[in-house]
Copies of this chain bind each other. A is one copy, B any other.
C-alpha cells in the first residue's frame, strides 16, 4: 500500500479530458479520510489530460480516498498509510502564543526570513546557486512570487509564464523607460484562463527544495511589478488563479500565503478584492496555512480575522524594527518585518543599508518580540543582473552571516518567543519570555544596546537569585561567559555598538 509521512504530500492522479479549456470547464475533487480527519480538496488540471489532487495528512494511520468529478476520468478510490514524520519534518507552521509561531509538532519556529522575489524563475544554474546560499545561511523563510517580475534590474524574460500565451517584446525596455510599461497589457497575448502547468510544476519543485532545507516558502500570489497583465486580471480570473494555487500548493507543509506584495500599489484592485481573495483562501485551504498581505505605504488592517500575522514593510526611513512593540499591541498577532529595507548599495533609498544597520534592525526586531526579514541589493549593472533581492544567487553582503548567532540565541528562549520587557530602562531594549509570570524575577532577559556604546551597565533584579551572564557582540559574533551574579552587579562592556547581554536564572 502507498505510504506518506505525516505532513507529507500525498497525491492521486487520473487521466481525463483534454479538449476545450479543462482549467475552467472541468472539475475534480477528492476526499481523504482517516481516523481523525476527513478532508475534501479541489484537484487541478496538470496538462496533457492529467488531473491531480493533493493532500497533507495531519495524523498517522490508515486513510482512504475517493476521487471524483466531471473531469472525464470517473470515480477512483484507494487507501494509504500515514507514517510518522521523518527527521526534520515538524509539520506546517502555526501561530503560537499570540505573537509567535510554532510548527504543528510544537517546536517553536523563530522566523529569520529573506526575500528573493523571483529566484525560482531564473536559470537552473542560478537556482542551484541560490539553494546553496540558503543552505549556508540561517534563513528559515523565503518570500517569493509565483508570477514574474517587471522592475528596475528585472527587465529580462522569466524562464516561463504562468499562463499560455506570448509576452510583449521586452527588447524595447530600458532602465529609463520601464516604468511606462508597468501595468500595461498591450503587446501581450495571454489567456488568463489557461494556466501553464509547467510553470507551476517548476514552482512546486522549488517549494520542495526549500522544504528539504527546512525553509518556509512565503508565496507571494500577486504583485504589482508587472507588464504582462497578471496584476490586473478580472475578479473571476484572480479567483481561478487562487483556487488553482491552493489546489496545487496547499499540500506542501512549508507553504505560507502572502496575498500580495505592496497590495496598495495595484491600480485595479480595492479592499473588496483582497477581502474576497482572503476569504477564498480561508475557505479553500483545508490546512489553514499562514496568511498575510504586505504593504507599500499604508498598512492593511492586520486585525482582519483572515490575516494570521502582520507582514510589514517599514513606513519610516529611520525607525523600523523599533516600532514592533507598537504593532504588537495594535494587531495582537505575530509581527513579521518582511521588508525593513535591504543591505546593499543601489540608488534606491530602500536598497542601500550597511550590513551593520541591517543586523541592528534584526536584533531590534527580535528583542522587541518581532521577526525580522532580510534582503540584499548590491549593484549589478549587467544585462541580466543578479541581486539577491530578486534573483537570489550569491549572498554578497555581511549581515546574513550574523543571523546564525541570532537564530541560536532565539532558540534558547524559554517558551514560544520573546516579549518586550516593560520594566527596562528608556535607553535599552530588553526581551523576556512571552507570557511568563513574574516570579518575582523573570527566568530570562536579553538586553540589546543597538547603536549605543555603554562601557558598562548595572543590574539589580533581587537580592538573592543567581543569574548566568553572557555578553554577546552581535556584529563580531562572539559570546562571552561572564559567570554567575546576584544582587546588584555590574557588567563590563567594550564601549562598542551592537552589544547584547543575556541573563539567565541559574538556580
> Chain A: residues with CB nearer than 8 A to chain B?
316-319, 322, 344-350, 352-354, 357, 379, 425-428, 450-458, 495, 497
> Are B317 and A427 closer than 8 Å at their CB atoms?
yes
Per the bound structure, the CA–CA distance linking A497 and B355 in Å amounts to: 11
Query: Is the pair A454, B322 in contact by a Cβ cutoff of 8 Å?
Result: no
Q: How far is the CB of A262 from chain B (nearest CB, A)?
A: 14
CB distance from A370 to the nearest CB of B (A): 15
Return the contact of A454 from the options B318, B352, B452, B454 (Cβ within 8 A).
B352
* Cross-interface CB contact of A455 among B316, B346, B426, B451, cutoff 8 Å: B346
Given A345-B495, A379-B495, A495-B379; A455-B352 close (CB under 8 Å): yes
A428–B317 CA distance with the chains assembled, in angstroms: 9
Q: Does A452 contact B352, Cβ atoms closer than 8 Å? A: yes
Contact status of A427 and B348, CB under 8 A, knowing A322-B318, A495-B379: yes
With known contacts A353-B452, A451-B354, A426–B317 Cβ distance under 8 A? yes
**Would you call A318 and B318 a contact (CB within 8 A)?**
yes
A contact patch SS: loop
Rounded to whole angstroms, the CA-CA distance of A354 and B357 in the bound complex is: 13
Give the copy number: 2
**Are A451's CB and B348's CB within 8 A?**
no
Q: In chain B, what residue has the closest Cβ to A428? A: B349
Measured between beta carbons, the chain B residues less than 8 angstroms from A425 are 349
Which chain B positions have C-beta within 8 A of A347? 454-458
* Distance in angstroms between the alpha carbons of A348 and B426 in the assembled complex: 10
Collect the chain B residues with CB atoms within 8 Å of residue A426's CB.
Answer: 317, 349
Q: How far is the CB of A11 from chain B (nearest CB, A)?
A: 47
Residues of chain B within 8 A (CB-CB) of A451 are 353-354, 357
Q: Which 5 A-B pairs have the closest CB atoms?
A: A349-B427, A345-B495, A352-B453, A345-B455, A347-B454
**A354 contact set on B, CB distance < 8 A:** 451, 453, 497
Partner of A453, one of B345, B495, B497: B345
**Given contacts A317-B426, A379-B495, A349 and B453 within 8 Å (CB-CB):** no
With a CB–CB cut-off of 8 A, which chain B residues contact A350? 427
**Across the interface, which residues of B come within 8 angstroms of A348, CB to CB?**
427, 454
Q: Would you give the shortest CB distance from A135 to chain B, in whole angstroms?
A: 28
Q: For the complex formed, measure the closest distance between the CB of A326 and the CB atoms of chain B, giving whole angstroms.
A: 12
**Least CB separation from A458: chain B residue:** B347
Q: Bound state CA distance, A452 and B497, in angstroms?
A: 18
A507–chain B nearest beta-carbon distance, Å: 26
Q: With the chains together, A451 CA to B452 CA distance in Å?
A: 16
Closest to A341 in B: B452
Q: How far is the CA of A316 from the CA of B316 in the complex (A)?
A: 14
Q: In the assembled complex, how far is the CB of residue A426 from the closest CB belonging to chain B, in whole angstroms?
A: 7
CA distance A425 to B352 in the complex (A): 15
Q: Which residues of B contact A428 (CB under 8 A)?
A: 349
